[in-house]
């Protein structure tokens, strides 16, 4: 089998490298010549654990190649995956499909024989049908099938998620063209049969909606526990135990009930918004998701106010140490990270911010120039009046509370991810606050 992957972004690179690992010949195409050059030289533009090794090994064995020439990649391919960006369109919250449609047209023009054109980017319901129209218009002469194969990868564990997914969703057209597409995709995912991964074949629209519904549900689950955490704080309950007590009910499940400063990342904020807009357009509003979006946005801003309140109502002239800036651990991704709201607000309120993140490359560009980036957590804590833990990188769990406290000038510790044991932190001399715990 041979495939082309259009787009060397996060999804394209991970999926391309993993398909190559499955034994398929993969050619990844990107218009950015600099990026392609870097990838050929073995430099990976994103941080994802294990990806560098996977790319290196498969490139060395000749199964994974990179090019800027779409035509060359598409010629002779059994399937072409579209993994181009679908950012939020300015002004209306819809997903911007310009790149998807342009790529579909280019692929159709370049095709030299029958192939399956698969959208892997997260696209609104109905995009598959639009792609189908483009393909039929551009190449009425060729048997090009259109399919939707959404990804459910989490940053930081994307390779494991691809290799051992909970399920694979394949959306296809009705009729023989769809059956052909499903057969090709099943062959590509054949290694997963060994571990009995369910492969769900559906209509195009259904596959597209599964992705949005899953992400919106998870975002709502997190937002639900965040609001319960607020209530816990008022009534003296412990949100950890509430989440555990709820999660042990098999119908609810334990995962994604970890209260925190609000969800961020490249998917949940964008996908919930796009789903809400699509649903409004069709006259079937998803009010619960709309509420989730609003509650989560407000929560990030509330976190900054919490820090200010913990410092006695003003941070003017105070030094605040912030640990963790990325939207979650094991990534350098800053997209919609709570730190993007919290840190600028603290700076604006007159605080001096000393920050540390193990992967600070993007944070340095995204945060105000006034922020001092430190080389370790302990360094950031030096002379700080308050310490705020914003992202739960593992290395923060191992920090010595005594050393942290000794480095600081003050004693305020705000643990927005509930990483530390309240008793231990109080014993170390901190005025400790976490989320939803007495």
258 binds ligand UDX (CB under 6 A): yes
Helix (H) or strand (E) holding 189: none
Give the contacts of 31 (CB within 8 A, at least 6 positions apart).
68
Contact string (CB under 6 A) for ligand UDX, positions 176-215, x = contact: ---------------------------------------x
- Exactly one of 260, 358, 360, 401 binds ligand UDX (CB under 6 A); that residue is 260
- Exactly one of 185, 222, 279, 381 binds ligand UDX (CB under 6 A); that residue is 222
Restricting to residues 265-324, which ones interact with ligand UDX according to CB under 6 A? Answer: 265-268
**Binding window for ligand UDX (CB under 6 A); candidates: 73-81, 132-140, 258-266, 360-368:** 258-266
- Rounded Cα distance, 340 and 263, in Å: 12
**Binding window for ligand UDX (CB under 6 A); candidates: 39-47, 80-88, 148-156, 398-406:** 148-156
63 binds ligand UDX (CB under 6 A): no
Give Dmax over CA atoms of the chain in angstroms: 75
- Rounded Cα distance, 294 and 165, in Å: 31
* β-pairing verdict for 352-356 and 319-323: parallel
User: What's the closest the beta carbon of residue 41 comes to ligand UDX, in angstroms?
Assistant: 27
165 binds ligand UDX (CB under 6 A): no
- Rounded Cα distance, 86 and 274, in Å: 10
Q: Which is nearer to ligand UDX, 119 or 266 (CB)?
A: 266
Strand pairing partners for 81?
5, 118
Q: Which is nearer to ligand UDX, 22 or 256 (CB)?
A: 256
Q: Which residue has the tokens 């704080």?
A: 233
Report which DSSP code applies to 88.
B
136 binds ligand UDX (CB under 6 A): no
**CB neighbourhood size of 291 (10 A):** 14
User: What's the closest the beta carbon of residue 4 comes to ligand UDX, in angstroms?
Assistant: 22
Q: Which residue has the tokens 């892997």?
A: 120
Residue 171's φ and ψ, nearest 5 degrees, are -105, 130
**Binding window for ligand UDX (CB under 6 A); candidates: 79-87, 129-137, 262-270, 340-348:** 262-270
User: What's the closest the beta carbon of residue 253 comes to ligand UDX, in angstroms?
Assistant: 11
Residue nearest to ligand UDX (CB): 267
3-state secondary structure of 116: strand
Q: Which is nearer to ligand UDX, 215 or 352 (CB)?
A: 215
- Rounded Cα distance, 142 and 138, in Å: 9
CA triplet 91, 96, 98: central angle to 5 degrees? 130
Residue 214's φ and ψ, nearest 5 degrees, are -65, -50
264 binds ligand UDX (CB under 6 A): yes
Question: Active-site positions?
Answer: 267
The residues of the shown chain that bind ligand UDX, judged by CB under 6 A, are 151-155, 215, 218, 222, 256-258, 260, 263-268, 327-328
């Amino acid at each position: 089998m041979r495939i082309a992957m259009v787009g060397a972004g996060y999804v394209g690179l991970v999926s391309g490298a993993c398909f190559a690992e499955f034994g398929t010949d993969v050619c990844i195409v990107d218009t950015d010549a600099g990026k392609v050059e870097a990838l050929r030289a073995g430099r990976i533009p994103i941080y994802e654990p294990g990806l560098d090794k996977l790319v290196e090994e498969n490139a060395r064995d000749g199964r994974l190649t990179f090019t800027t020439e779409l035509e060359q990649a598409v010629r002779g391919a059994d399937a072409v995956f579209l993994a181009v960006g679908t950012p939020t369109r300015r002004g209306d919250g819809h997903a911007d499909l310009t790149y998807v449609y342009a790529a579909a047209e280019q692929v159709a023009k370049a095709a030299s024989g029958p192939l399956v054109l698969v959208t892997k980017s997260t696209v609104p319901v109905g995009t598959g049908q639009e792609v189908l129209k483009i393909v039929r218009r551009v190449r009425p002469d060729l048997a090009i099938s259109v399919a939707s194969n959404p990804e459910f990868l989490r940053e930081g564990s994307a390779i494991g998620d691809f290799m051992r997914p909970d399920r694979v969703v394949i959306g296809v057209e009705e009729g023989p063209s769809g059956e052909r597409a499903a057969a090709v995709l099943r062959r590509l995912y054949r290694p997963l049969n060994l571990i009995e991964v369910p492969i769900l074949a559906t209509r195009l629209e259904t596959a597209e909606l599964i992705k949005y519904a899953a992400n919106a549900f998870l975002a709502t689950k997190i937002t639900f526990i965040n609001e319960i955490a607020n209530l816990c704080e008022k009534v003296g309950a412990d949100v950890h135990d509430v989440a555990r007590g709820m999660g042990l009910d098999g119908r609810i499940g334990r995962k994604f009930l970890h209260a925190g400063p609000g969800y961020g990342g490249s998917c949940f904020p964008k996908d919930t918004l796009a789903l809400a807009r699509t649903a409004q357009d069709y006259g079937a509003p998803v009010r619960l998701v709309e509420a989730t979006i609003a509650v989560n946005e407000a929560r990030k801003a509330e976190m900054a106010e919490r820090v200010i309140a913990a410092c006695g109502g003003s941070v003017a002239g105070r030094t605040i140490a912030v640990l963790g800036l990325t939207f979650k651990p094991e990534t350098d991704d800053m997209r919609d990270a709570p730190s993007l709201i919290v840190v600028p607000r603290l700076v604006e309120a007159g605080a001096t911010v000393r920050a540390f993140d193990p992967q600070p490359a993007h944070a340095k560009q995204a945060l105000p120039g006034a922020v001092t980036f430190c080389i370790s957590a302990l360094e950031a804590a030096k002379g700080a009046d308050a310490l705020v833990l914003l992202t739960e990188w593992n290395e923060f769990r191992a920090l010595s509370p005594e050393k942290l406290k000794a480095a600081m000038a003050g004693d305020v510790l705000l643990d927005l991810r509930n990483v530390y044991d309240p008793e231990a932190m109080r014993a170390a001399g901190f005025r400790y606050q976490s989320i939803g715990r007495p």
